Structure 1
C-alpha cells in the first residue's frame, strides 16, 4: 500500500514521540519502507537517521551502518539536491558512524582510516573548519589506544577552537582525559564548579559526575562523592545513556564497600546486556560487573545468587560464576581490540581494572540491606527445595526462584513438589492446570497429604477465577480427607483453604468455626508460619466486623509473635499495624508504646534481627505520630533492610523520607521518596491508598528537597507530575500549590542566570 508523502511525514513525527524503543523501531521501519517505495528521497534520508538512532537506543548499533551507507550513496549520486544544512547534517552523521565503527573490533583500522580521510575531504570541500574531524580522529585514536595520535589530535582540536563552552560532552571529554591519566587533582579543579552546580549545561552532567566518583574518594572528598553518585544515579534513570556509565556506577560501588547498591544497578541493567551488540560498551560493562563480583567473592558472598538473563529465560548463577563469565567476556573483547589495534593496551587496561583494590569505605545507600542470601554449594536437592518452599511462604519470591534455579532439574522423587512450587510461583491463567498436573504426580506417588494440599491450592485458584461451584465440593472433600490423617499442619492449611473458598458460600459463623479449627490445629502443629497465616485471616475478619478492640489485640498479638518466630517480616509488620490501630480504638496507645519500649530495652544481645526490626517498626510509628520523625530513622532503616528480600511497602519508604527530611539528610530523603513515587500515584488512581493524600505529600516532599538542594530542574519535573494529577482530579488546591511553587522555582532559576 502506497502512502502520501504528507502522511509519512506525520507518521515519522508520531513515531519519534514514542517512548518504547521497540515500538518506535517498528514504526520507523514502516516509514522508511514507505518513503523508499514512494520515491520520497528527502523523507527517506531523515527517516533512516531517526531509525538509526532508535536502533542504537535499542542496543543494536551495527544496524545503523547500512542505513548510513544507503544515505551516503544517495547523496553522492545526487549531490546537487542537498542544501548546505543537509550537507552539514550528513557530515556530522558520518563522523558519528566512524566513531561507532571504531567500537567494533571486527572493523579493521584500514577501513576506518579510509573513512576518516573521506570525511575530512568532505569537510575541506565544504570550506568548513576541521574541529569536528580532529575530535573524531582523537576519539578513534583513543579507542585504538594509539596515545601519541590521541594527544596529537587533541591538540589540533584545541587549536581549531577546542571545546564548545556550552557543550557538556566537550567538557566531559576534558575531565575524562585527566581522570584517565590519574590526575585527580587537576580533574577536580576543572570539574568542581560543575559538581557543585555553579556551572551548568543544557544537558545533565552525568558523565562528569561518573568520571569524578573515584577521584573524589581518592582525594578524601567523600561527601562530594556521595552527592555526585546520587545525582548520577538519578540522572541515568531519566535518559538513555551508554552501558559504560552504568558500569562505572557499579564499579564505584564495588570499590567503596557498597556491594548491594552495585547489585541493584547490575540487576536493573542485565535485562538488556544479552542483546547489547556494541563491543566497547559490552567490554567495559562486563569488566565493571567482574569487579563487583570479585568484591562479592572476597567478602565471602561468592555463593550469593545474581540475576542472569538469557534471551527471555533465566539461568542460575552465583557471584563466583558471574565473575568468571564477565571476566571472560571483558578479556575476550579486549583481546579482539588488541588484535585489531596491534597493541596490548585494551587488555592491559581491563586487567588493571579487574585487579583494582577497594579505595575506601563510603556509605552510599540510605539503608543497608541484602537483596538475596547465599546458597552454599553442595546443598542436597531436598534442602534446596525445602528452602525454596520456605521462602515462598514468607513472600520472598526472588529467593524462592533462586533456590529453584540452583536446584535445576530435580531428582524424580522431588519432581511433584518442584512442579507444585513452580505452579504457585508462576501464577497466571496456567496456574490451575499446572497445579492439577502436580496433584496427579503426588497421587501417582501416593503422597496423600501433599496431594490434598495441592488440590486445596487448586480450589483457591478456582474460586479466585469464578469457579466457586466447582471449588466448594472439592475443597470440602480434601479437608475431610486430611482430617483423617495425623498431620496437624496439613489439617490447619486445609481448614484455612476451606474458609477461603467458602467465603460467601456458607454463612459467616461456619467460616469462623473453620478458622477456629485451623487455629487449633496450627497451634498443635507447632509451626509458627501456619499460626501466623491463620491468625491474619481471623484478625482481618474481626476488624471488618468491628469486634471489641481487646479481641483484635489478642489475635494480632498471636499473629505478631508467630510471624516473628517464623522469620516472616511482612506478616509481622501487618500484625503490628493492626495492633497499633486496635490500641488506638481501645484508648491504650500510651500503654502499648511503653510496652514496646520496655521490650526493646530488654532485648538480649542475641535477639533475632527480625524481632528487633519488628519492634523497632512499632517504636518508629509512635515517634512519627509524636512528630519525632528524625528519631525514627534508625528503626525504619533497619526495618527496610529486613524487608528488602520480600519487598518494602511504599509507605515505609515515604516514612523514611520524612525522617530524613527532619534529620536534614536531603539526599537520603530524595533517594527514599523517589523509589515508589510513581507507584504511590498509581495506588492513588486505583483508590487503594489508605491515606490518598500520601501520594501528593510524597511528591511535595521531593519538590521541597530538590529546591533546597538547588536542583530546580528536578523540582519542576515533580511539579509537572503534580500538575497533571491536579488537572486529572480537578483539585484546585493542588493546582494553586503547583502554580506558586513553579513561580518560586523559576524566580530562583532567573536569579542564577
Structure 2
C-alpha cells in the first residue's frame, strides 16, 4: 500500500511530465490507486490533472468524464479550493472539444457554454473567454451573424485571469478574421504578437499556421513560406496537432508545392488510425485527398508509400475524400448547416489559391532551404524587379579610344590596358578609397556596335577609360561629353 505522501509525490512527478501518452498512462495509474484507497483529495487532484493530460495529449474525448466528475464534486462543496482556477479553466477546453465530436448534440455544447458563463459571472471573471468560445462554436457551425456579434463583445471585454495567453487569444482572432476574409486585419493583429516573447507551448506555431491563408491572399509569399517552415518544425512531432498539420498540407498543395504536400501526407497518414477527434480526422483526410489528386494530375500513375507498400495515389485520394465527406455529413446533420460539408469540398483540385505567383521557387525545390533564391520573371507583373535610379555618370570624361592604351587626363599614356597608374587619378597621386556601386547591365555608347556589356560604375575621379565595359581595342567609341546612350 502506498501512503498519501508517496502518492502526492507521484502526482507531482506526473504533472511535470511532457504531454503525451506517457503522462496519460501515469495519471491514469494514480487515479486507479486513489480510487482503490478511497483517497478523496488525490482522487480530485488526479482527475483535474487527467483532464489537462487528455486534452494536451491528443485524446480530448477522454476528458469529458473526469471533468464532469470534478464538477459534481465541486458543486457538492467537497472540492479543494486550491484547484478552482484549474476547474474553471478546463471549461474552455471542454467547450472546444465538444464541438469536435458529432456524437455530442449541439444543444449540449451550448448548454455547457451557458453554464460556463454562469459560473464565470458568479466567480467575478470577465466575459472575455466566454465570448471567445461562443465565436469558436459559431464559426464551427457557420453562423456569421452570431460570430460577428460575439467577436465585437469579445474585443470589448477586458482580459483577466481566465483569458487565453497573449499568443493564443490573438490566434483565435486571426482565425476568425481569416474566415471572414479580413486578411489585412489578421496580419496586422499578428505583428505585435510575433514580435513579442511567447510563453505558451502552442505558440508561435498556432498563429503562424492561421496566418498562412491571409499571407497568401495578400501577396506576402515570402512570409507565408517562412511561416510554414517555422510552424511545421514545431508541429510535426505533436500528436494533438494533426489539425494544424492538415492546414500545412493544404497550403503546400494549393500553392503548387505538391511534392512537399505528398511528403507531409506520407509522414502523417498513420495518424488517421487514432485521430484526436472526428473533426481533425475530417480536416486531414480532406487535405490529404487534395494533395494526392493534384499530384496525380501533375504526374499520372504516381505512387505513395503506405503500410510498407507502394499504393496508387489516386486510390488513396478517393478513400480519403470519401472519409472526409462522411464525417462532414455527420457534422452537418448535427449542426443543421452545410458548413463542414463545404469545408470537406477542399478535396476538389479545382479550388486553388490563384493569388500565388508561379514564378517564385517552390517549397519542393530539392536544394537545401538556405541555398534557395527567387528567380523573378521579368514578364510577370507580380515579381519582376522594380526599375532603379542608377547614379549619373561623369560628364567630362572620354570613352576608350581605339588604342588599347589609356589616355591620362593630364596627357601621356600608359602601356597598361587594365590598371591605370596613380597619376591617372584626378586631384593627386594616391588612389582614393573604392566606392561600391550597384552592378547594372548597360549599353555601350553609340558606335560601339550595340552589344551589351556588364559595367560596374566607378567614382567620378577615375580615368574616363574605366567607364567602358570592354576596356579594349574592340571599343570604337569617339570622345563624348555626356552620358547619351547610357540608359538610367
TM-score surpassing 0.5? yes
Number of the residue aligned with 1:580:
none
Distance 1:358 1:296 in 2: 16
Distance 1:11 1:166 in 2: 29
User: 1:351-750 residue pairs with structure 2 within 5 A?
Assistant: 351-352=345-346, 354=348, 355-359=350-354, 360=356, 361=358, 362-365=360-363, 367-368=365-366, 637=367, 660=370
**What is the deviation of 1:187?**
2.3
Number of the residue aligned with 1:27:
26
**What is the deviation of 1:20?**
7.9
- Cα separation, partners in 2 of 1:22 and 1:147, compared to 1, 3 Å: same
**What is the deviation of 1:43?**
2.2
Correspondence for 2:120 among 96, 118, 123: 123
1:92 aligns with 2:92: no
- Cα separation, partners in 2 of 1:225 and 1:276, compared to 1, 3 Å: same
- Deviation per CA, 1:145-188, whole angstroms, max 9, x where unpaired? 22222222222222222696951111111211121122223322
Contact 1:258 1:363 in 2 (8 A): no
Contact 2:283 2:324 in 1 (8 A): yes
Number of the residue aligned with 2:343:
349
- Cα separation, partners in 2 of 1:241 and 1:89, compared to 1, 3 Å: same
1:338 aligns with 2:336: no
1:132 aligns with 2:129: yes
Distance 1:367 1:132 in 2: 43
**What is the deviation of 1:231?**
1.1
Residue aligned with 2:195, SS:
coil
- Cα separation, partners in 2 of 1:75 and 1:206, compared to 1, 3 Å: same
**What is the deviation of 1:339?**
0.6
Contact 1:22 1:58 in 2 (8 A): yes
RMSD in angstroms over aligned alpha carbons?
Answer: 2.8
Correspondence for 2:315 among 303, 314, 321: 321
Distance 2:66 2:148 in 1: 32
**What is the deviation of 1:33?**
0.9
- Cα separation, partners in 2 of 1:62 and 1:231, compared to 1, 3 Å: same
Q: Which runs of 5+ in 1 are unaligned?
A: 369-636, 638-655, 666-753
Q: Which runs of 5+ in 2 are unaligned?
A: 375-488
**What is the deviation of 1:248?**
0.9
Distance 1:20 1:125 in 2: 32
Residue aligned with 1:185, SS:
helix
**What is the deviation of 1:328?**
1.1
User: 1:112-261 residue pairs with structure 2 within 5 A?
Assistant: 112-161=109-158, 167-194=166-193, 197-203=194-200, 204-237=203-236, 241-261=240-260
Distance 1:241 1:59 in 2: 4
- Cα separation, partners in 2 of 1:68 and 1:20, compared to 1, 3 Å: closer
Contact 2:240 2:276 in 1 (8 A): no
- Cα separation, partners in 2 of 1:315 and 1:29, compared to 1, 3 Å: farther
- Cα separation, partners in 2 of 1:111 and 1:92, compared to 1, 3 Å: same
**What is the deviation of 1:299?**
0.7
**What is the deviation of 1:340?**
0.7
Residue aligned with 1:317, SS:
strand
Contact 2:105 2:334 in 1 (8 A): yes
Distance 1:198 1:207 in 2: 15
Contact 2:174 2:210 in 1 (8 A): yes
**What is the deviation of 1:229?**
1.6
Number of the residue aligned with 1:9:
8
Distance 2:143 2:28 in 1: 38
Distance 1:285 1:344 in 2: 19
Correspondence for 1:304 among 302, 308, 318: 302
**What is the deviation of 1:277?**
4.4
- Deviation per CA, 1:109-143, whole angstroms, max 9, x where unpaired? 22222222222222222233222222222222222
**What is the deviation of 1:278?**
0.6
- Cα separation, partners in 2 of 1:58 and 1:269, compared to 1, 3 Å: farther
- Deviation per CA, 1:651-709, whole angstroms, max 9, x where unpaired? xxxxx68xx47x999xxxxxxxxxxxxxxxxxxxxxxxxxxxxxxxxxxxxxxxxxxxx
Number of the residue aligned with 1:647:
none
- Deviation per CA, 1:439-470, whole angstroms, max 9, x where unpaired? xxxxxxxxxxxxxxxxxxxxxxxxxxxxxxxx
Superposition TM-score, scaled by structure 1 size? 0.45
Superposition TM-score, scaled by structure 2 size? 0.68
Comparing both structures, which one devotes a greater share of its residues to helix?
1
Distance 2:256 2:36 in 1: 57
Query: Greater CA radius of gyration, 1 or 2?
Result: 2
Q: Matched residue pairs, number? A: 366
- Cα separation, partners in 2 of 1:184 and 1:126, compared to 1, 3 Å: closer
Contact 2:55 2:63 in 1 (8 A): yes
**What is the deviation of 1:291?**
1.5
User: 1:76-91 residue pairs with structure 2 within 5 A?
Assistant: 76-79=75-78, 81-83=79-81, 85-91=82-88
Residue aligned with 2:2, SS:
coil
- Cα separation, partners in 2 of 1:17 and 1:269, compared to 1, 3 Å: farther
- Deviation per CA, 1:696-748, whole angstroms, max 9, x where unpaired? xxxxxxxxxxxxxxxxxxxxxxxxxxxxxxxxxxxxxxxxxxxxxxxxxxxxx
**What is the deviation of 1:242?**
2.4
Contact 1:254 1:358 in 2 (8 A): no
